[in-house]
Chains A and B, each alone.
Chain A
Amino acid sequence: MPDPNLFRLRVEYCKKGRLSMLSHLEIARALERAVRRADLPFAVSQGFSPHMKIAFGSALPVGVGSTCEIFDLQMTRYVAPEKALAALRAASVPDLMPHDCRYIGPRDAAASVVYPVASYQAELSFALEGGLPLPEEVHVVRKKKEKTLKVADYLVGQLATEGAMVTFELEAKPTGSLRPDVLLNACIDAFNATRPEVQEPLHIVSITRTTQRASR
């Protein structure tokens, strides 16, 4: 539960271009440094290892970009959102650029859980005549354990293909989530398996998270 005496600033930013290849940890470190460079009045935790009170949204895999990432920063005093945004933008690189700042209430859900549903747009290496085959299950390895995820548990609606563009929506569950790149690669593997070997295999050119929202 955040300290009610602190101001909670929610910042929305993009992850694009080459920097789509950064990991969640690398992004977190880069954002923290941008906040420090922006000289915002961030709060610092007490205790053995003092650190900035900052919370990040749900992790994006390496290689997946976004137009709508968020982090929450707790601040010791109020700074007008447009001023905070201007300071952050001046301290940020173009491919990790913040575009919105607003205050949220002390009881609002944290950045990591507020938006369980996210939509993605992917570009494939060539246009498809029909759609992509959608497997019923996807096998993933987590902490050396193999796990089978039912696609229907996570996919909201359909996987829509138009030429080389694919769009779909995934919902994170309290028990876990299905990564967009893992789902798409499973579809592509199934597609490639149906084609003769002499043909160039299909692969992903880019994946971008385009919106994030609460569950209905």
Chain B
Amino acid sequence: MRKMTDLWPRLEPLLRDAERPSRYLNHEFGCVRKQDADFAFCMVYPDTYELGQANQALRILVNVVNASENLCAERAFLPAPAFCDVMRREHLPLFSIESCAPLREFDAIGITLPHELAATNVLETLDLAGIPIRSEDRSENDPFVLGGGPCAYNPEPYAPFFDAISIGEGEEAVPEGLHLIRRMRQEGASRGDVLRALAREDGWYVPSLYRWRSEEEAQEAGSWIEPVEPGLPTVIRKRLFTRFAESNGWELCIVPYAECVHDRLNVEVLRGCARGCRFCQAGMMYRPVRERSADNIVESVLTGLAETGYDEVSLTSLSSTDHSQIADILTRLNKALDGKGVRISVPSQRLDSFGVDMAGLVAGQKKGGLTFAPEAGTQRLRDVINKNVTEDDLFGAIDAAFAAGWRRCKLYFMIGLPTETDDDIKGIASLAQRAYDRAKAAVPPEQRGSIRMSVSCALFVPKAQTPFQWDGQIAPEEAIRRVNLLRHSVKHKAVDVHWHDPETSFVEAVMSRGGREAARWVEAAWKRGARFDAWTECFDEQAWRDAADEAGIDPAVIAQTEYPVERVMPWTHISTGVSSRFLALERRRAQEGATTPDCTFGTCTGCGACPDLDSENMLAAVRMLSGSSASAAAPARGEE
């Protein structure tokens, strides 16, 4: 083990006055400090321990690096805002959890980019660690700063801050990249040479090796990036973990002391979703779909509960009820865990698969609120976004849930979807009120007072790598008008309406659609004090506005401009496997209100992911449609 500075003696006295010191303690059950390694990697979640500890990327990558010969991995998080200030005052640099060692003493650090509002926290992390925030300013002695995660599919707004960015799933790419850095550093290679080699590895993007073109040049050349030397890839294709399905669903997991989000056993039952919702980035970037088998999942859950002592397990994925064996899995788990006081939760319930059967299978336990996402208020608009659920699906799900004992339901909608009119907004109110009426009818009269139906809406954010990437976001003022229209259209007192601040969604849209110039905006905003932008109480709108003037960019143009499908977007050089042609076709179908089926339930829809990535959907059994999709698909099947 390399010798690193132990900052604990300096940290401990500061914790006396810190809020929730358990965030900084280490010594959690299950945490590992690997001794026999000569290359140290630190995986960073750019927010607090409570928000990041349960993050899947963190767990997977720390485990996979620790399982690699000669490499060890630790974790780090940003301290809470007030403690960041205490650390600056005391000149205490950002530290890892396991060794309490300064981040800048690690050989490499990896920062995951979990959502679009984490950019200023990346800079806060680097600065607090005493690492220059720009790649070009780092010296031979600084750690390699690596990025990855969902937002890496449009890496440009982060490009100057990272030495290299891993595109796609990191199970194999991250250890490979670290081995390469270790080997070359031991051979005495310079930082620049290591990065030039890394840029030639599958799935690694090294932004500094590509010149950023002007708008005119990019449209002419068909790409925004120009390699600065021969032999570099011009398209960086995502990495796919092809052994996901057969890999064990249980892996070592840390049981924190502090109360964290998603503090439970999380077993990933499947990866990817091919439902094809046209606004959804995750639905495009994790293709093809891979299911773990029922045997693997049941065994993983039981082992995981025994090893961790958790009293709750979540069967995670983008759409767990789509698993071909979900009923079997739940039946077996319910039986095995009967009387143990263990709660099984199934997030991301799809409306068309939540019938009486599913309600029964997840009903044995404590009933929290149920969340469904119709996304749009009218069938027309749901067809535009390819949601493929109907009002009847919603009402069927409500009937089943409230009859089975649920009393609270939250409905998610988006405001400002392409082609949306005021009728669609009023449709949200109408749908929610009728859902409430259905709930009422399904519940005995004396219990009706406890029914809660809430509508939660967020402003549509056009995401890179989706069919709606060319569509603009509506202006925040217009979003507020539409939210007000919705609020005035809801007449029932028992239906309440919540909405996200459109200003933060505006920043998300810029980060999602911006090119390399957006990095200047991020840096200027952070220098003006923006950080923890995802925290409502910390979001500093003025800092972002002033930053735009300083950076000389118009963020409204980036967020709101609508383009024809011919326009070369700033992430054209990053490939999820799904072809641009398919995205363009899907956008045209959206404008026509035509839907596209899910290939995991039927035939190929030609998105391009399987041939491009030389892979295919891996299902544990045949998937059967339910709800309205089943009745819609039935005649089509008969014709075949």
Residues of A participating in the B interface, judged by any CB pair closer than 8 Å? 17-19, 21-23, 25-26, 29-30, 32-37, 39, 44-45, 48-52, 62-63, 91, 93, 95, 203
Contacts and interface: CB of A to CB of B under 8 A. Distances in A.
Contacts of B26: 18
Contacts of B310: 33, 36
A69 to B, nearest CB: 15
A33 B308 contact: yes
Interface string B7-25: 0000010011000111001
B22 A26 contact: yes
A79 to B, nearest CB: 17
Contacts, number: 70
Interface string B23-54: 00111010000000000000000000000000
Nearest to A30: B257
Contacts of A25: 259
A33 B255 contact: yes
B89 interface: no
17 contacts: A18-B26, A19-B27, A22-B22, A23-B20, A26-B257, A32-B309, A33-B309, A34-B29, A36-B309, A37-B307, A37-B308, A37-B309, A48-B366, A51-B311, A62-B21, A63-B21, A93-B29
Closest 4 CB pairs of A and B: A33-B309, A36-B309, A37-B309, A44-B341
Contacts of B25: 18-19, 21-22
Interface in B295-342: 305-311, 339-341
A184 to B, nearest CB: 13
A60 to B, nearest CB: 14
Given A36-B305, A37-B308, A39-B306, A29 B341 contact: no
Contact of A21 (B21, B341, B366): B21
Contacts of A32: 309, 311
B40 to A, nearest CB: 22
Interface of B: 12, 15-16, 20-22, 25-27, 29, 255, 257-259, 305-311, 339-341, 365-366
A191 B280 CA distance: 63
A33 B22 CA distance: 17
Nearest to A53: B341
Nearest to B27: A18
Contacts of A203: 16
Contact of A26 (B259, B308, B339): B259
B341 A52 contact: yes
Nearest to A93: B29
Nearest to B28: A93
B27 A34 contact: no
Contacts of B259: 25-26, 29
Given A21-B21, A35-B309, A44 B27 contact: no
Given A18-B25, A26-B257, A51 B306 contact: no
A62 to B, nearest CB: 7
Q: Which of B12, B22, B257, B305 has the largest count of A CB atoms less than 10 A from its CB?
A: B257
A37 B366 CA distance: 22
A19 B257 contact: yes
A203 B14 CA distance: 13
A49 B312 CA distance: 12
A21 B308 contact: no
A23 B22 contact: yes
A93 B311 CA distance: 19
B445 to A, nearest CB: 20
Contacts of B305: 36
A33 B341 contact: no
A62 B25 CA distance: 13
B184 to A, nearest CB: 38
